[in-house]
Amino acid sequence: MEQERRKDGKAPVRSHHGCTNCRRSKVKCDEQKPSCTRCWQKDLQCSSNYQLKWESDYRYRGVAFGRSGRWGKNSSENRQTPSPTGSSPAFPEEAIWLVTPRVDTWAFLNNDMSLIQRLCDEEENHTEPYLLPAFNAKMVIGEQGPRGPRPLSASSPLPYIQQSLEMDETLTQHLPSSLSLFPSLDSLGNRVLFDYYINQVCPRTVHSPNSKSPFASVILPYCVSASPTVLRAIQALAACHWSQYDPQYSNISLQLKSRVLNDFRKRINLNPTSIFAEDPEILVIVLFLCLFDIVDDCDKQWIVHLQGAKDIIRLRRRQQRLLTEKNETESQCIPQDPVSSFTELFFAFQDVMGRTACAKADLFGPSYWHEDDTTINPWMGCSPALVSIIFAVMDLSRSRRLMVSDEDQMSFSTQAAALSNKLDTLRQESHTGEEEDLTIHKIAELKRLTGIVYLKCALYGAHPAEDTIKTYIRMILKDVIELLALESACHVIWPLFVAAVELDPLDFELWIDPETGSVTDGRRLVLGLLARMAKNSVSSVSRTRAVIEQVWKSRDFDLLKSFKQKKASIAALNDWERYVVPLSDALSLV
């Protein structure tokens, strides 16, 4: 490959610290970390191999060490000629020799002063070496680095083991090579994206950094035996989320997504029966593609993946039913594996929460939600019983305008009253640790209050000027502020959306800071909360903010009309259908 030349015609200055790939190709390396630009573009493993050179060895062989003794203002006077006998030159008598410390093949860095002092005392007293205790790593979420959020971080005093640049072959020849937990990553490259997924994406999907995310506890064990396409889909999602902080990862995420789609298409064309196979790999790939589009722009593309997932699940269940009938088993059903259960729960929950805003027909139906199950799911932040009530409210609101006769209106009023009573009396339970009970209970109660507001607006036609709605909105915003202070941003996007679109445009004194006593306008408060959520969430915060702002503009435009408007009939458009539904198509609220 011909080297690029500078404008002055001279050869470019080659870097002395470039990576192995650039040095092998004889091109200049920009030395970006953790991977240079050329390796990123070609999807290569970027690494640098250094060779230590000692001046005494060169002098012993009679060879000049680098440029020493060869360059200077007066080269004829400063040039040194190596001794023909190979002996090293004499050193000045006033030279002071320092004791060379022992250099092992490994070293510990980032230790505290007490440990260093202990090591020094042991060296002086010739005592037994001090063994480092085992520290537990604790992740730091959202820490910013020079190129975006750091994918790997740990709290002090966890020792970071630094591998030596060059190890003695006699020490390593008896050491067995360690097996990689994800062998496919060795050929895929981009390991930093996989680390980013584990340390940055997964913790943002649960209410607490100490909680177990199903994206880690369920998906990662499955990835050990999964195909490289699944790992590449994980890397695409990580790059897409990282591009929100560092735009240079945007092209990488699109390239990885394109390769995932190509592999996915080839697999279906070569083996169509893999769609309804027992292995849930197809569903896992669709899950990450759906989440990719939600994080990216949250356009209608993620709905296409949602519809595809519905068809795949329907085919897989039909195949399982045929196998059950063939084996003539009278049992209820074969229990699903954890990966299939979580992926189906993910799609069904996305379907319910997203359609509360756009009021379209459901895709997955009510079979996933049992009204008697009041146990809080940590990933959903509520119980299946609450989701069942929200689903029933959404379904009843869609059929409300078709109920014209008196008998239909009576039936509608009875069903709406029953759902309202269920929300008022619902008590959700959790089986997590004692410390997490308070947080998860607060999240579940927040979503129950939000469900009450949604019911009153979608079924009874409530509007922001009503005193009852104002009271609930203040309670919801208060809980959202407290949860964001606890870094629980993954479960508050739906409550914050409902509270924002039902804000009274004339209520300027919505929030009073209990510490300073300053009064904050409701809209300004919502925008500040959305900005805080964008840093610690995997949801579509930018799209949610755009919809909220459009709702505010529509309300301001029709502000005078709303005062003159009388109470609408049961068959007419209510406040939710007039301002929220037309603007919320394909909006994800999970």
Going residue by residue through the chain, which has 590 residues, state the pLDDT in tens, using 9 for 90 and above.
444 455 555 555 556 678 888 888 888 888 888 888 888 888 888 888 766 777 777 777 777 776 665 555 544 444 444 444 444 456 666 777 776 666 555 444 445 555 555 555 655 554 444 333 333 333 333 344 433 444 443 333 323 223 333 334 444 445 455 556 676 676 777 888 999 999 999 999 988 777 889 999 999 999 888 889 999 999 999 999 999 989 999 999 999 999 999 999 999 899 888 888 888 999 999 999 999 999 998 988 999 999 999 999 999 988 888 877 766 554 445 567 899 999 999 999 999 999 999 999 999 989 999 999 999 998 999 999 999 999 999 999 998 878 878 888 899 999 999 999 999 999 999 876 555 578 899 999 999 999 999 999 999 999 999 999 999 999 999 999 999 988 778 889 999 999 999 999 887 767 777 667 777 888 999 999 999 998 888 888 999 999 999 999 999 888 866 544 445 555 678 999 999 999 999 999 98
Q: Which two tokens stand for residue 536?
A: 């610690």
Residue 327 CB-density burial (10 A; 0-12 exposed, 13-18 middle, 19+ buried): exposed
Q: How many CA atoms lie within 13 A of 206 on its CB side?
A: 21
Q: Supply the pTM of this predicted model.
A: 0.70
pLDDT at 539 (0 to 100): 87
CB 536 within 8 A of CB 590: no
Compute how many other C-beta atoms are within 10 angstroms of the C-beta atom of residue 554. Answer: 16
pLDDT at 104 (0 to 100): 57
For the chain, the distance separating the N- and C-terminal CA atoms, rounded to the nearest angstrom, is 50
Long-range contacts formed by 421-428: CB under 8 A, 24+ apart: 422/371, 422/389, 423/389, 423/448, 423/451, 423/452, 423/455, 424/452, 426/374, 426/383, 426/385, 426/386, 426/389, 427/374, 428/374, 428/375, 428/376, 428/382, 428/383, 428/385, 428/386
Which residue bears the tokens 């697999």? 267
Q: Computed over its alpha carbons, how large is the radius of gyration of the chain? A: 32
* Distance, CA of 354 to CA of 302 (rounded, Å): 11
* Distance, CA of 356 to CA of 498 (rounded, Å): 10
Closest residue by Cα to residue 43 from 161, 164, 192, 159: 192
Q: Which two tokens stand for residue 231?
A: 């790992």
Rounded to 5 degrees, what are φ and ψ at 574?
A: -95, -175
* Distance, CA of 462 to CA of 567 (rounded, Å): 10
Rounded to 5 degrees, what are φ and ψ at 163?
A: -70, 145
* Distance, CA of 509 to CA of 262 (rounded, Å): 54
Residues of the chain with CATH 4.10.240: 20-61
* Distance, CA of 323 to CA of 328 (rounded, Å): 9
Closest residue by Cα to residue 160 from 121, 98, 110: 110
CB 505 within 8 A of CB 549: no
* Distance, CA of 505 to CA of 511 (rounded, Å): 14
pLDDT at 103 (0 to 100): 57
Q: Sign of the C-alpha dihedral, residues 202, 204, 206, 211?
A: positive
CB 101 within 8 A of CB 82: no
Closest residue by Cα to residue 154 from 133, 131, 132, 136: 136
CATH architecture assignment, domain 20-61: Irregular (4.10)
Q: Sign of the C-alpha dihedral, residues 513, 516, 517, 520?
A: negative
